[in-house]
Amino acid sequence: MTNVCIACGRHMLSANQHATGDEEKPYCIFCATPDGSLRSYDEVLERLTEYYLQTEPVDRFAASEMAREHLATLPAWSRVAAM
């Protein structure tokens, strides 16, 4: 079982935190569509940007840059970051 989401880095401590509750899915419920497939990079980027806006004292530009930098370190987006 993968305990860290490959798309956002969130720790998944139980099966219900994995996409569709399937421990074989390497990404979390927040990075999955309702059918269990991985959301697009842009969708995950926007969600993470919103998270940073709510939790950090930064403006949208800084939150977006923080999100891009973080996503570039994750396996799901390594190819995207190289572009």
| Within a domain: 10 | no
55 domain residue, yes or no: yes
Which tokens hold the place of 72? 């570039």
pLDDT on residue 1:
52
Residue 70 lies in a domain: yes
Round the average pLDDT of the chain to a whole number and report it: 92
User: How far, CA to CA in Å, does 59 sit from each of 10, 14, 21, 24, 64?
Assistant: 22, 33, 34, 36, 9
Place 53 in a pLDDT band, splitting at 50, 70 and 90.
Answer: very high
Q: Give the structural domain span for 24.
A: 15-81
Q: What is the mean pLDDT of residues 53-60?
A: 97
52: left (phi over 0), alpha (psi -120 to 50) or beta: alpha
What CA dihedral angle connects 75, 35, 19 and 43, to 10 degrees?
A: 50
The average pLDDT across 48-68 equals: 97
Give 52's pLDDT tier (boundaries 50, 70, 90). very high
Give me the number of domains the chain comprises. 1
Q: What is the mean pLDDT of residues 36-53?
A: 96
